[in-house]
Amino acid sequence: MRGLIALLAAFSLLVPVPALAATEPRTGFEKTGKWTTEAEEQAYLRSLGLPVTQIGTTAQGRPLQLVRVGSSSARAVVLFTCSQHGDEPAGREACLIRMRSLPRSSDVTYLFVPNANPDGRVLNTRGNSSGIDINRDHLLLRSAEARAMAAVIRDWQPDVIHDLHEFGPSSPYYVKDVLWLWPRNLNVSSDVHALSETLSRSYVRPSVEAAGRTSGVYGIYVDPVTGEPVRQVAGDGQERILRNTAGLKHAMGLLVETNDSGAPAFRVESHLRALEGTQSFVRDNRSAIEAANAASRAVRSGPVYFGGADNQAPDPSDVLSEPPCGYVLTGAQYREVGDELALHGIRSEYLRGGDRIVPLRQEARALIPLLLDARADGPLVSARPVAQCVNGPAN
Ligand SMILES: [Zn+2]
């Protein structure tokens, strides 16, 4: 008997034994089948040993966190924002699971905001504890959650922003397991727009459908018998929605929504398959992504659109065919919104007399009129458009 034990011991030294499943960190959801609690999430993040930074604090005092997988100097950066809507929990669970298995040394940096609305998650509400819908706040930045996200986007300049949500099947025409969508805002550069649509249609769709899910375009009711579109109910070009803001900030944008009438494990698994689609997209399209990102940052001309979408022609009054050179803010206006402009990475210059000018000639060009022009749909402030930026405004 002793000989047999010795033999087994010797054998075990030679044969690589797979890590015991019990020793690997597990989310609360994996252990109990119930959504991971706040305490379980924090214990899990500690046990993974990944770099976690605090990027903000919610109104109720909870930390907003960013988890990084991979080197901080990799060529490509992918940002996952998980469950901005607190009552859409499956995305957060998929993010927590996926961060554990991604390669820690590769040429892609994966960033996760694993719990993008921690107060809303605990309260099980769509908005945060003040009732702000974070996914309608990515321009005005009234919430700590959206401000934290804006700073991450400014500081990391992600190539891809993948935003995880869930939808309720409110209608017999809305029956897919998974819905996906790209930025529809007309100010998104054509290369970023095209590649974002490729990410949805050619990567996320096949990835989830290969796993037996039905999928389709977010926001379009489809006749369940004929498959024909009935009407559009959501998924428009509003710039304050992260999917669109992402495109305006030069990232390939993606919204993924799982149907919340499914079983929790099915929904989490659906999100995991969609995450795989994004990983494949980045692997296959590295140079095209870099080129689209660079081309978007370099855009220096072209009309500005205050309305419309890629599937809806803008009203002529919403097209600014000859945009101003820049916008002048009074000193008082600048004191009011200077922090928000900085969070968006928007540069301004001091003018004699205490005014500031925000020239359109900068990387954030696409965002500036949407924030500062009175004709925009809910601007941050109505600043004065000027035709001449050189040596101060001429008008
Ligand atoms: Zn949502």
Domain boundaries, the chain: 38-298, 323-386
Element (H, E) at 163: strand 160-167
Distances (CA, A) of 246 to 9, 263, 337: 55, 30, 21
Q: Average pLDDT for residues 234-249, to the nearest whole number?
A: 95
Distance in Å, CA 120 to ligand 1 centroid: 12
User: Residue 15: its pLDDT value, please?
Assistant: 42
Q: Distance (Å, rounded) from C-alpha 75 to C-alpha 144?
A: 29
What Rg do the C-alpha atoms of the chain give, in angstroms? 23
Distance in Å, CA 145 to ligand 1 centroid: 14
User: Residue 389: its pLDDT value, please?
Assistant: 86
Residues 6+ apart with CB under 8 A from 57: 63, 64, 144
Q: Average pLDDT for residues 112-140, to the nearest whole number?
A: 98
Assigned CATH topology for domain 38-298:
Aminopeptidase (3.40.630)
Distance in Å, CA 83 to ligand 1 centroid: 7
As a whole number, the mean pLDDT across the chain is: 92
Give the rounded percent of residues in the chain with a pLDDT score beyond 90.
Answer: 82
Q: Average pLDDT for residues 157-175, to the nearest whole number?
A: 90
pTM of full prediction above 0.85? yes
Q: Average pLDDT for residues 54-69, to the nearest whole number?
A: 98
User: Residue 5: its pLDDT value, please?
Assistant: 45
Q: Which amino acid does the sequence have at 327?
A: Y
Distance in Å, CA 4 to ligand 1 centroid: 59
User: Residue 222: its pLDDT value, please?
Assistant: 85
Q: Distance (Å, rounded) from C-alpha 302 to C-alpha 326?
A: 14
The pLDDT-based confidence of 21 (bands split at 50, 70, 90) is low
SS3 161: strand
Identify the CA nearest to 71 among candidates 54, 51, 53: 51
The pLDDT-based confidence of 228 (bands split at 50, 70, 90) is confident
What are the beta bridge partners of residue 253? 161
Identify the CA nearest to 273 among candidates 199, 196, 359, 210: 210
Range name among 116-120, 136-140, 214-218, 233-237 with the lowest pLDDT average: 233-237
Distance in Å, CA 244 to ligand 1 centroid: 14
Distance in Å, CA 166 to ligand 1 centroid: 5
Distance in Å, CA 88 to ligand 1 centroid: 6
SS3 88: coil
Q: Average pLDDT for residues 328-334, to the nearest whole number?
A: 97
Q: Distance (Å, rounded) from C-alpha 124 to C-alpha 126?
A: 7
User: Residue 391: its pLDDT value, please?
Assistant: 53
Residue spans of alpha helices (H) in the chain: 2-14, 28-32, 38-48, 90-101, 118-123, 144-156, 190-198, 205-210, 242-248, 264-284, 286-298, 331-343, 368-372
Distance in Å, CA 63 to ligand 1 centroid: 21
User: Residue 381: its pLDDT value, please?
Assistant: 98
Distance in Å, CA 24 to ligand 1 centroid: 30
Q: What are 336-345's pLDDT values in tens digits?
A: 999 999 999 9
Q: Distance (Å, rounded) from C-alpha 224 to C-alpha 60?
A: 43
Distance in Å, CA 297 to ligand 1 centroid: 28
- 125 touches 86 (CB < 8 A): yes
Q: Average pLDDT for residues 20-46, to the nearest whole number?
A: 92
Distance in Å, CA 256 to ligand 1 centroid: 9
SS3 293: helix
Distance in Å, CA 340 to ligand 1 centroid: 24
Q: What are 171-213's pLDDT values in tens digits?
A: 777 889 999 999 999 999 999 999 999 999 999 999 999 999 9
CB burial readout 307-341, b (16+ within 10 A) else e: bbbeeeeeeeebebeebbbbbbbeeebbeebeebb
What are the beta bridge partners of residue 110? 69, 78
